[in-house]
Amino acid sequence: MGKLAITGGKPVRTKPFAPWPLYDRKEERAIQQVLKSRNWGGYPFPNAHGSAFAHRFAEFHRAKYGVAVANGTVAIEVALKAVGLQAGDKVIVPAYTWEGTVGPVLQLNAIPVFVDIDPATYCLDTGLIEKAITNKTRVILPVHLAMNFADLDAIGRLARQHHLLVIEDCAHAHGGMWKKKGAGATGDMGCFSFQSSKLMTAGEGGAVITSKLEFLERAQSYVNCGRASETDKFANRLIGFNYRMTEFQAAILEVQLGRLAGQASVRQRNMEYFEKRITGTPGLALLKRDRRITRVAAYQYVFKFLPQHFEGIGRAAFLGALEKEGVPCDGLFYEPVYKSALFPVKAAEYPALSWGRENPIDLRSLYNCPVSERAAYEESVWLPHHIFLGSRKDVDDIADGVLKVCENFEELRGLEHPAIETKQMSRAERPRVEKRQY
Ligand SMILES: Cc1ncc(COP(=O)(O)O)c(C=O)c1O
């Protein structure tokens, strides 16, 4: 019997952390009110709560306009369509992100171009973007994750120089601020997800924000089956779909938005304390904090596990042991999208991949992004945001768990355990074992 819980010792913590999502009487009342109104759907569009929420959400991020949509994946599709992406255009995306950032590009018969991430922030490496730009490039699509922002100053400069549009994937960045401007408001459009795990949620849902009326109008039309937008100043007509959000979701999100700033400061304070506790631990490294981030959006606390220090003991063993100490954690949270089983690109389904060439572009073999691969398969440790919404004692438990596993890692040598196996599973494989997946 060892010291670690995974080898039979006493776990650091047995008590669950704060549940997620949080709700109270306000959400209950909001749902009841919609129920009784019998005005449940997103149509007429934008409907009462959908419109009020979208407006407040945009304003909160310092953008002029917002549209509430069905989820974060379609938010990206809507934004790409709203800025006028054409079939065959190219979109620069980070390799290290959720597949939902990239799928919509293909869905619109455009071509994603993967660029590696910055090892200091895990966001798009802006030093590599210029090399990836061609005369077909139309959009740069940075993803803000790991409590960080992609460098929006550098991206803005490149976009102006090469006449490109910028769409920010802010699925991890609700309420985050870059130089006092909200996530999604520096680029041409910002896209958000309200899926269950996110910093605000209605179970599912999404939003796009922008300060350009023409983009708002195209977004509204696309989401509402091609109908005219509210203002219809540009009178753009396009084939649209029903991507509307229900009034139930919008009413819940109005309440959740009211809690966001308070929760953000609790999380930030707790994560900073956690960081202090683990700083300097041999075998661990922290990501960079950029001073231009004036409010942190902390969807997950992410740090680095340095495998060379642990001499042959891999990240999955570290994570399995940490989970058994009572700390929820993840490693294979994202894979480089081009390698993921959730990205089985069939060229026949996406004709632009073959245009003007004898053999289609093979997105799965074309790329090698070493920083993304290292982050995905060896290095990154992801801790969910809700465990940082509690007391200082909760944070001490998280830090104690991490330090205990680091101090006793030799107990993990050669160990086989179901908790370790689970931590080796990709997001595609996990539904087989997960009781509840966000
Ligand atoms: C970075 C990123 N982009 C896009 C999405 C897509 O959002 P949704 O799950 O609401 O479709 C997600 C959500 O998981 C995400 O994490």
Ligand 1: distance of its center to the CA of 205 in Å? 10
Positive or negative: CA dihedral 21, 27, 32, 34: negative
pLDDT value at residue 429: 86
**Residue with tokens 């959006």, as numbered in its chain:** 297
Confidence label for 436 from pLDDT (cuts 50, 70 and 90)? low
Q: Name which of 131, 141, 45 is nearest 337 in CA terms.
A: 141
- As a whole number, mean pLDDT of residues 182-196 equals 98
User: 13 pLDDT exceeds 70?
Assistant: yes
For ligand 1, say whether the CB of 97 is within 6 Å of any of its atoms: yes
User: 320 pLDDT exceeds 90?
Assistant: yes
**Residue with tokens 């999502």, as numbered in its chain:** 21
pLDDT value at residue 431: 78
Burial of 239 (0-12, 13-18, 19+ CB in 10 A): exposed
Question: Which atom in ligand 1 lies closest to the alpha carbon of residue 204?
Answer: 10
CA pair distance 177, 165, nearest whole angstrom? 20
pLDDT value at residue 1: 87
Question: Which atom in ligand 1 lies closest to the alpha carbon of residue 205?
Answer: 10
Q: Which of 74, 78, 98, 191 to mutate to test the pocket of ligand 1 (most atoms within 8 A of CB)?
A: 98
First to last CA, the chain: 34
pLDDT value at residue 418: 95
- As a whole number, mean pLDDT of residues 407-416 equals 96
User: 438 pLDDT exceeds 60?
Assistant: no
pLDDT value at residue 428: 87
362: which 2 tokens?
């093979």
For ligand 1, say whether the CB of 171 is within 6 Å of any of its atoms: yes
pLDDT value at residue 286: 98
Upstream peptide bond of 46 is cis (omega within 30 degrees of 0): yes
Ligand 1: distance of its center to the CA of 99 in Å? 8
Ligand 1: distance of its center to the CA of 6 in Å? 32
If you count them, how many residues does the chain have?
438
pTM, two decimals, is 0.97
Report the SS3 class of residue 262.
helix
For ligand 1, say whether the CB of 92 is within 6 Å of any of its atoms: no
pLDDT tens for each residue of 174-188: 999 999 999 999 999
Q: Name which of 266, 287, 222 is nearest 385 in CA terms.
A: 266
pLDDT value at residue 407: 97
294: which 2 tokens?
């004036």
CA pair distance 219, 324, nearest whole angstrom? 46
Cα 371 from chain centroid?
A: 18
Burial of 365 (0-12, 13-18, 19+ CB in 10 A): exposed
369: which 2 tokens?
């992004």
- As a whole number, mean pLDDT of residues 237-250 equals 98
pLDDT value at residue 404: 98
Confidence label for 432 from pLDDT (cuts 50, 70 and 90)? confident
pLDDT tens for each residue of 281-313: 999 999 999 999 999 999 999 999 999 999 999
pLDDT value at residue 437: 53
pLDDT tens for each residue of 321-340: 999 999 999 999 999 999 99
CA pair distance 133, 155, nearest whole angstrom? 12
Ligand 1: distance of its center to the CA of 46 in Å? 23
pLDDT value at residue 433: 74
User: 5 pLDDT exceeds 90?
Assistant: yes
pLDDT value at residue 427: 86
Helix (H), strand (E) counts: the chain: 12, 13
Question: Which atom in ligand 1 lies closest to the alpha carbon of residue 194?
Answer: 10
**Residue with tokens 């809690």, as numbered in its chain:** 259
Spatial contact of 93 and 360, defined as CB atoms under 8 Å apart: no
- As a whole number, mean pLDDT of residues 275-279 equals 97
Look over the chain and give the mean of its residue pLDDT values, rounded to a whole number: 97
Q: Name which of 136, 152, 144 is nearest 174 in CA terms.
A: 144
Q: Which of 193, 204, 335 to mutate to test the pocket of ligand 1 (most atoms within 8 A of CB)?
A: 193
CA distances 116 to 3, 335, 395, Å, are: 39, 12, 32
User: 133 pLDDT exceeds 60?
Assistant: yes
CA pair distance 13, 30, nearest whole angstrom? 36
pLDDT above 70: percentage of residues in the chain: 99
pLDDT tens for each residue of 115-131: 999 999 999 999 999 99
For ligand 1, say whether the CB of 249 is within 6 Å of any of its atoms: no
Confidence label for 11 from pLDDT (cuts 50, 70 and 90)? very high
Query: Which protein residue has the closest C-alpha to ligand 1 atom 3?
Result: 101
Ligand 1: distance of its center to the CA of 107 in Å? 15
CA distances 340 to 27, 97, 142, 287, 363, Å, are: 37, 10, 19, 24, 11
